[in-house]
Amino acid sequence: VVLRACCSLDPAALAGHCAARIARYKVPKEFLAVETLPRTASGKIQKHVLRALK
């Protein structure tokens, strides 16, 4: 999750928000706040870098 400067992360509230809108099996088990998402030169998100941040 990339947070705006004025916001904070409440994992329980975020999980509840997701659970109300998407299927239960699609709700993430963990939430991680980062400043920016790592991207490739073509603009795609580098998922392997995000997995390594855990």
For residue range 21-54, list pLDDT tens digits in order: 999 999 999 998 898 999 999 999 999 999 998 7
Question: If 0-12 CB within 10 Å is exposed, 13-18 middle and 19+ buried, where does residue 52 land?
Answer: exposed
- Record the pTM: 0.65
pLDDT-based confidence at 3, cuts 50/70/90?
Answer: confident
**pLDDT score at 19:** 96
Among residues 26, 14, 34, 11, the alpha carbon closest in space to that of 51 is found at 34
Rg of the chain taking only CA atoms, in angstroms: 13
pLDDT confidence of residue 45 = 96
